[in-house]
Amino acid sequence: MKHPVFPVSLVKPYFQTGEDKFPSRKKTTTPPDILEVEDSPGPVKKIIKARNIRLNGKDKRQYLVRFKNQTADKDKWLAEDAIPDGDIHLRRFRASRRT
């Protein structure tokens, strides 16, 4: 068969279902892709790693940031513009990767 065939008699009109018809249906939410600095645990100690992620067809660079007086489980992935005093810490991070 060269072309797929579907019987027209089986086609039915689409009606959007509302939440009132299915109140017990679970709602799915997607987690945020970029973490913001709204509740920053303190000043930045150092930048540990870098990664590239794709958001809406564009590559975004994120950095794994460790904060002062915090353990490794509190590290956060932040965008470059969301890092407090980012220019200083990014300069140190890039210099340490060159050696």
Domain boundaries, the chain: 31-98
Strand order in the sheet with 76-79: 44-55, 58-67, 76-79
In DSSP terms, 35 is beta-bridged to 78
In DSSP terms, 51 is beta-bridged to 62
pLDDT at 30: 65
Question: 93: pLDDT confidence band, cut at 50, 70 and 90?
Answer: very high
Residues for the chain: how many in total? 99
pTM of whole model > 0.75? Answer: no
Domain range 31-98, CATH class: mainly beta
Q: Evaluate if residue 61 carries a pLDDT over 80.
A: yes
Tell me how far CA of residue 75 lies from CA of 33, 44, 78, in angstroms.
16, 10, 9
